[in-house]
């Protein structure tokens, strides 16, 4: 399929590059990922051309700003990355858009930076890499707490989506993975961490207060669609003080969108479509941690009808981001 749009596609600045090395390791695999993270205009565009991707929305690698303990440094790094990205996207506005990196360590600064990126730089939303550390290494701040309500109000007012992207858990909370390092990141830990964060956002009553918020998650929903029925079923039986006006599944279908980033599997896609509705699923690669050829060849040849493939591969992103594409 030609004209696909990808929206979990990463890049890095030298300041944040080392965060990705910790995930990939120092093998020849890292050399490949490193080169592609630092490139925007050359190899990345060639791969997009080869595999029918018209547009990608670029985002800073993980955890990057979210792992910076000093709030002032986080503000500076986010602003630096966003300025560089704006310059790169301006070179090829026909092929790229931008997600803002945000210093969530400082709520007011995060609001200011998001407003600057959207209103002044033309960014189409924000991508934040999970919880934020602040002041001390063992900290993990989630965005369901009351301190972040002004931030969410600003996101809703701007009318842009917020991409909740995974990150690795901090060392102080690694006990479940002891002796099993292969579970820590993308194989399992990313989904566990990000799905809990998303369910916390719902359970805080956030979407009752801000019903127009739109959250994006990758990897076909971080395993939430598979468990959606059971989540609601058990809360219905034993609410334990669940404070929301509707069921979890209702908010997921009204306030969330899931992408295919890094999850190229027909049964998982079918489950996601069945639970979320086809208008809530979008194509992505997870570049450069996944290969464009794997994402595109699977998507272009799976069991979708041509109409459904066009909707997931292109139209849903155009509608959500209000993209001016012919």
Please return the burial class of 246, using the count of CB atoms within 10 Å of its CB with bins 0-12, 13-18 and 19+.
middle
Residue 144 is a catalytic residue? no
- Residue corresponding to tokens 């803002």: 100
**Whole-number Cα distances in Å, 18 to 26, 89, 102, 231, 306:** 10, 23, 18, 37, 41
**Within a 10 A sphere around the Cβ of 235, how many other Cβ atoms?**
16
**Strand ranges inside 142-234, DSSP E:** 162-165, 215-217
Contacts of 314 (CB under 8 A, 6+ apart): 1, 3, 4, 5, 54, 283
Q: Which two tokens stand for residue 213?
A: 């918020």
Catalytic residue, candidates 19, 106, 144, 286? 286
- Can you state the angle between helices 14-24 and 28-38, rounded to 10 degrees? 150
Contact status, residue 8 vs residue 261, Cβ threshold 8 Å: yes
Write the DSSP string, 221-288.
TTTHHHHHHHHHHHHHH--TT---SS-HHHHHHHHEEEE-TT---HHHHHHHHHHH-GGGEE----TT
Contact status, residue 172 vs residue 148, Cβ threshold 8 Å: no
Q: How far apart are CA 85 and CA 123, in angstroms?
A: 10
Q: How far apart are CA 153 and CA 149, in angstroms?
A: 6
Contact status, residue 154 vs residue 115, Cβ threshold 8 Å: yes
Q: How far apart are CA 58 and CA 124, in angstroms?
A: 10
Q: How far apart are CA 173 and CA 58, in angstroms?
A: 30
- The set of catalytic residues is 286
């Amino acid at each position: 399929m030609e004209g696909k749009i990808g929206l979990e596609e990463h890049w890095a600045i030298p300041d944040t590059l080392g965060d990705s090395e910790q995930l990939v390791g120092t093998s020849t695999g890292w050399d490949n990922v490193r080169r592609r993270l630092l490139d925007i205009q050359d190899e990345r565009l060639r791969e997009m051309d080869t595999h029918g991707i018209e547009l990608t929305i670029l985002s800073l690698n993980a955890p990057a700003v979210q792992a910076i303990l000093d709030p002032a440094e986080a503000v500076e790094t986010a602003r630096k990355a966003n300025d560089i990205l704006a310059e790169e996207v301006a070179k090829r506005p026909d092929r790229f858009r931008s997600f803002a990196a945000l210093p969530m360590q400082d709520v007011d600064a995060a609001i200011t930076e998001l407003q600057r990126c959207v209103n002044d730089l033309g960014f189409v939303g924000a991508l934040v890499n999970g919880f934020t550390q602040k002041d001390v290494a063992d900290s993990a701040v989630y965005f369901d707490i009351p301190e972040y309500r002004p931030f969410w109000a600003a996101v809703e007012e701007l009318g842009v989506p917020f991409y909740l992207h995974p990150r690795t858990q901090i060392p102080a909370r690694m006990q479940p993975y002891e002796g099993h390092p292969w579970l820590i990141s993308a194989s399992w830990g990313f989904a566990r961490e990000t799905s809990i964060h998303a369910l916390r956002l719902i359970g805080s009553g956030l979407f009752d207060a801000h019903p127009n918020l739109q959250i994006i998650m990758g990897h076909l929903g971080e395993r939430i669609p598979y468990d959606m029925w059971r989540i609601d079923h058990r809360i219905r039986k034993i609410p334990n003080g669940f404070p929301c006006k509707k069921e979890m599944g209702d908010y997921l279908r009204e306030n969330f969108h899931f992408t295919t980033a890094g999850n190229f599997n027909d049964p998982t896609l079918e489950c996601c479509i069945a639970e979320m509705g086809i208008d809530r699923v979008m194509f992505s690669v997870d570049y450069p941690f996944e290969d464009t050829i794997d994402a595109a060849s699977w998507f272009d040849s799976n069991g979708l009808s041509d109409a459904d493939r066009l909707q997931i591969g292109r139209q849903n992103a155009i509608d959500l981001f209000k993209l001016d594409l012919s």
